[in-house]
Amino acid sequence: MAFRGMQSFSTMAEEKKLFKVTIDNIPVEVEPGTTILNAARKIGGDVVPPAMCYYSKLQGSGGKCRTCLVKVSKGSDADPRPMPKLVASCRTTVMDGMEVANITSPEVLDARKGVVEFLLLNHPLDCPVCDQAGECDLQDLSYEHGTEATRYEFKRRTFEKIDIGDHIKLHMTRCILCYRCVFTADQLTNKREHGVLNRGEASEIGTYIKNSLDNDFIGNVIDVCPVGALTDRTARFKNRVWFLKPVDAHRDCDKCCGKTVLWMRGDEVFRVTARKDKYGEVEEFICDTCRFEKKEAKDWVVEGPRKVSRHSVISQGHYVGVHKPHETIREVMSGRDPKLLMNIHSVSEVNQPSVDLSKIDGPAHSTDFPKINGVQ
Amino acid sequence: MGRKLLLDKAHIEGIRYYDVYRKNGGYAAAEKVLKNMSPDQVTEEVKKSGLRGRGGAGFPTGLKWSFLAKPEGVPRYLVCNADESEPGTFKDRYLMEFLPHLLIEGLLISSFALGANRTYIYIRGEYAWIPDILEEAIKDAHKNGWLGKNIQGSGFDLDIYVQRGAGAYICGEETALIESLEGKRGNPRIKPPFPAVKGLWQCPTVVNNVETLAAVVPIINIGGDEYAKIGIGKSTGTKLISACGNLNKPGVYEIDMTISVEEFIYSEEYCGGIPDGKRLKACIPGGSSVPILPANLLLKTAKGEQRMMTYESLNDGGFPTGSMMGSGGFIVLDEDQCVVRHTLSLARFYHHESCGQCSPCREGTGWMKRVLQNIENGKGKMSDIDLLWDIQRKIEGNTICPLGDAAAWPVAAAIRHFRDEFEWHVNNPEEAQRHNFGLAHYADPLPVVAAAAAV
């Protein structure tokens, strides 16, 4: 009886209706309740909106930085009206038949440019002396979406650097107020001791009053910080990330999973962090013992080199004489970026949606496709 | 003489106290509702009346009430938004100071309609003396059996609590208000879910303005249909306007929405014109967040029709040539006022009040303020005006809550209608320190095409 109950449950789960969403003309099917951002991540590539404050592992995060704004050009099949404003894709759930424009909408790109400008307005741009440089989300974001110069002519806001706890340095001047560290402390530790103080432009992350953050998991705030506002005091100014070799390693830990990345040079471990995926989110949170106290290679079982995106500065520092490939597509497409030509079906003469490949016996031949322009 | 429904008894001595209020027909509506009506009938009556939210957005109240989710076993809440902090608006203060029982009666009827047994009045911290008035009135209502358990034998329970804010404009935004009421930092929530589904303590909640809830009392008294007969089109009933600025008789006026803007400013019954024989330069008709209008567009719409004090007529022409009714904070500027300086003080306000949660508003409001400060202090550049336009464009619509829009609109409208004054400030920095730009050509209506092209 129990078995039958389980069976019916599993068939029900299989039959659960998926929502069909189109993002930048690319269709994808996702479960109801998925956000636009996660649907875009399912497609991957250039259609994924950048996210500075959203963190899939932290409940309630997102919606604040506004870099992931997208245009919903069709609400759903049931209600096809477009949404009046750009929406934060990280907090807006999909509807069946929704059509979303991200990089194909000039309005979105313009708004995003504005948001990047706002985020950089009071940022000190001290990348040359910042430990986060090379693995900084804000750096990547501004390279991709920002402008080369600022129009801000006023004094930028500054704060004193403070040590919050023995291992963590808070440099509030660099903070973009994503609230990720607040959510992390709230959800990973029993007692959150830091939060956002003050209001508006004067808001700051702080402990009230000058508490130190001392907790087994508080080090994770360093990993979730998208900029260099929270840094590891045991690794500050020791080395640049692109001079270090990241290796996957693990150890038996009674507090956490023990799976980390060691940032090494020779046999020396400079820094221990959690493993991050391609969106800069940690795979699993690690404890402070692993992060701050195990700084010798003999503490760890090294698994092998960490895969780093080839676009990252971390993997590029080791090579000399790299030739940049010649960009032909942009030349022949009158300056348009290849990624803006997304609706491949409308230009492709093979793989047309009207022809179902699974209905064709054996390998498909050109004769299986209808003639186009009289040419076979 | 316009019909008065809210303030008709405000002049009676001692109306603040229960006995006088009751003797003058108070709590008659509540009696009628508790004895003869069902909650749905009350909602239906409010729907029929066409009452629109008086807090600023003008959303139909009956419709808002009908959106309230009603799951079994989950309490529902009514929250009265008395966090009246919009510069230029002081109508709720008048209501609460002089007619606290009217608000309590409105709350009682609305709570009954919504099925809320616990109702909160969230009042702004700066109104330091009003919570005492309200609490005294609540105590009296308790004593006379209008609050508490089994009100007037109807089986309906209601308790009203007064909660003071700590002086943040953002807490007038309904989700920030709810956060603050829960004892958290007053940051607006990201919607959806809307408060009607998940509001106070994750329960269905309706947040209404003081004036909206007070207006429920006359609606029940005279009936929704009768109420809907007052006013023009979808602007039904009476509206409190708090008039201030360069006026002979500033103050809170109750208007039925049938008079023109010109009549409101110049007639003896209302504001009595502009002092010292000066001429009208500009006006913000609905509280600081709505677009400013020059005199020509204020008195007549771009189509040349007379502009009326109604939701539709004030909005005629949209952003290019119109404005909004907003919260009814009517700010009048005469020919000696400087629009640049005025815009700066609004920008300074929004900079100060931004909660800092989302980046466009947190960073953009401060930037606008500083650029405006430069222009006002004679350090501006011509490119600054376009820069301001670009900043406001990138804030508007891209923020979590409407504060970003509210910060952007006044700047946008000021540049749209008074660009020559900004340019004069930039070109004559020294002269601009000594005297004002004056009236210029605003007395003459702009050609429609030119006004629309300035968007």
Residues B95 and B225 in one domain: yes
Distance from CA of B190 to the nearest CA of A (A): 7
Confidence of residue B432 (pLDDT cuts 50, 70, 90): confident
Classify residue B39 by burial, with Cβ atoms within 10 Å: 0-12, 13-18, 19+: middle
How far apart are alpha carbons A365 and A368 in whole angstroms?
5
Report the range of poorest mean pLDDT among A349-358, B180-189, B219-228, B293-302: A349-358
How far apart are alpha carbons B390 and A314 in whole angstroms?
36
Residue A37's identity, in one-letter code, is L
**Mean local confidence (pLDDT), A19-43:** 91
Residues B144 and B213 in one domain: yes
Residues B196 and B274 in one domain: no
**Mean local confidence (pLDDT), B60-82:** 90
Helix (H) or strand (E) holding B374: helix B359-376
Residues B349 and B272 in one domain: no
Average pLDDT, chain A: 83
- Render pLDDT for A326-342 as a digit per residue (tens, 0 to 9): 777 777 766 666 666 55
Distance from CA of A107 to the nearest CA of B (A): 10
Residues B216 and B122 in one domain: yes
How far apart are alpha carbons B164 and B175 in whole angstroms?
16
Q: What pLDDT, on a 0 to 100 scale, did the predictor assign at position B57? A: 84
Confidence of residue B392 (pLDDT cuts 50, 70, 90): very high
Q: What pLDDT, on a 0 to 100 scale, did the predictor assign at position A345? A: 56
Residues B86 and B219 in one domain: yes
Helix (H) or strand (E) holding B294: strand B293-294
Q: How many CA atoms lie within 13 A of A329 on its CB side?
A: 7
Confidence of residue A307 (pLDDT cuts 50, 70, 90): confident
**Mean local confidence (pLDDT), B88-93:** 92
User: Helix (H, G, I), strand (E, B), or coil: what is residue A50?
Assistant: coil
pLDDT at A282 over 80: yes
Residue A149, Cβ neighbours under 10 Å: how many? 6
Strand order in the sheet with B280-284: B251-256, B238-245, B329-334, B280-284, B293-294
Helix (H) or strand (E) holding B245: strand B238-245
To the nearest 10°, report the CA torsion of A292, A293, A299, A300. Answer: -10
CATH code (residue B284)? 3.10.20.600
Q: What pLDDT, on a 0 to 100 scale, did the predictor assign at position B188? A: 93
Confidence of residue B442 (pLDDT cuts 50, 70, 90): low
Question: Is the CB of A64 less than 8 angstroms away from the CB of B366?
Answer: no
Residues B191 and B305 in one domain: no
For chain A, what percentages of helix, strand and coil (3-state, to nearest 5) are there? Answer: 30, 20, 55
- Render pLDDT for B249-275 as a digit per residue (tens, 0 to 9): 999 999 988 888 888 998 888 888 888
Sequence ranges of the domains in chain A: 18-112, 240-318
How far apart are alpha carbons B81 and B55 in whole angstroms?
8
CATH code (residue B434)? 1.20.1440.230
Question: Is the CB of A151 less than 8 angstroms away from the CB of B387?
Answer: yes
- Render pLDDT for B159-171 as a digit per residue (tens, 0 to 9): 999 999 988 999 9
pLDDT at A4 over 70: no
Residues B362 and B440 in one domain: yes
How far apart are alpha carbons A252 and A302 in whole angstroms?
12
Question: Is the CB of A63 less than 8 angstroms away from the CB of B355?
Answer: no
Q: Structural domain tally of chain B?
A: 3
- Render pLDDT for B106-149 as a digit per residue (tens, 0 to 9): 999 999 999 999 999 999 999 999 999 999 999 999 999 899 99
Q: What pLDDT, on a 0 to 100 scale, did the predictor assign at position A313? A: 76
Residue where a domain stops, chosen among B298, B317, B334 = B334
Helix (H) or strand (E) holding B140: helix B130-143
Residues B319 and B349 in one domain: no
* Interface with A, mutate which of B194, B362, B383 (most A CBs under 10 A): B362
How far apart are alpha carbons A40 and A298 in whole angstroms?
41
Q: What is the CATH number of domain A18-112?
A: 3.10.20.740
Q: What pLDDT, on a 0 to 100 scale, did the predictor assign at position B8? A: 86
The string of DSSP letters for B84-99 reads: --STT--HHHHHHHH-
**In chain A, which residues touch B (CB < 8 A)?**
62-66, 69, 85-86, 88, 91, 110-111, 114-115, 117-119, 121-122, 151-152, 154, 176-177, 179, 195-196, 198-203
**Mean local confidence (pLDDT), A77-104:** 90
Confidence of residue B386 (pLDDT cuts 50, 70, 90): very high
In a domain? residue B236: no
Q: What pLDDT, on a 0 to 100 scale, did the predictor assign at position B451? A: 45
**Mean local confidence (pLDDT), B221-241:** 89
**Mean local confidence (pLDDT), A81-99:** 91
Instruction: Evaluate whether A242 touches A314 at the Cβ level (below 8 Å).
Output: yes
- Render pLDDT for A121-172 as a digit per residue (tens, 0 to 9): 999 989 999 999 888 999 989 988 888 888 998 999 999 998 888 889 999 9
pLDDT at B278 over 50: yes
Instruction: Evaluate whether B324 touches B86 at the Cβ level (below 8 Å).
Output: no
Closest residue in chain B to residue A62, using alpha carbons only: B190
Q: Which residues of A touch B398 (CB under 8 A)?
A: 66, 69, 85-86, 111, 114-115
pLDDT at A21 over 60: yes
Residue where a domain stops, chosen among B208, B229, B250 = B229
Helix (H) or strand (E) holding B211: helix B210-222
**B55 Cβ contact list (under 8 Å, min separation 6):** B81, B172, B208, B209, B211, B212, B327
Report the range of poorest mean pLDDT among A109-123, A140-154, B89-103: A140-154
- The domain of B329 spans 241-334
Assigned token pair, B150:
């089994």
Q: What pLDDT, on a 0 to 100 scale, did the predictor assign at position A2? A: 42
A323-344 in b/e form (b: 16+ CB < 10 A) is eeeeeeeeeeeeeeeeeeebee
Question: Is the CB of A118 less than 8 angstroms away from the CB of B394?
Answer: yes
Residues B273 and B411 in one domain: no
- Render pLDDT for B304-319 as a digit per residue (tens, 0 to 9): 888 888 888 888 888 8
Residue where a domain stops, chosen among B229, B256, B283 = B229
Distance from CA of A65 to the nearest CA of B (A): 5
Q: What pLDDT, on a 0 to 100 scale, did the predictor assign at position A272? A: 92
Q: What is the DSSP letter of B385?
A: H
Q: What pLDDT, on a 0 to 100 scale, did the predictor assign at position A369? A: 66
Question: Is the CB of B362 less than 8 angstroms away from the CB of A200?
Answer: yes
How far apart are alpha carbons A162 and A231 in whole angstroms?
11
Counting DSSP H helices and E strands in chain A, the numbers are 10, 14
Question: Is the CB of B356 less than 8 angstroms away from the CB of A152?
Answer: no
Confidence of residue A225 (pLDDT cuts 50, 70, 90): very high
Question: Is the CB of A88 less than 8 angstroms away from the CB of B363?
Answer: no
Q: What pLDDT, on a 0 to 100 scale, did the predictor assign at position B446? A: 41
pLDDT at A363 over 80: no
The percentage of chain B sitting over the pLDDT mark of 90, rounded to a whole number, equals 51
pLDDT at A322 over 70: no
To the nearest 10°, report the CA torsion of B330, B336, B339, B342. Answer: -60
In a domain? residue B12: no
Residues B279 and B409 in one domain: no
Q: What pLDDT, on a 0 to 100 scale, did the predictor assign at position A348? A: 58
Q: Which residues of B touch A114 (CB under 8 A)?
A: 360, 393-395, 398
pLDDT at B1 over 60: no
Residues B321 and B352 in one domain: no
Instruction: Evaluate whether B51 touches B293 at the Cβ level (below 8 Å).
Output: no
The residue that leads in pLDDT, B326 or A321, is B326
Question: Is the CB of A200 less than 8 angstroms away from the CB of B353?
Answer: yes
Q: Which residues of A touch B370 (CB under 8 A)?
A: 154
How far apart are alpha carbons A174 and A156 in whole angstroms?
11
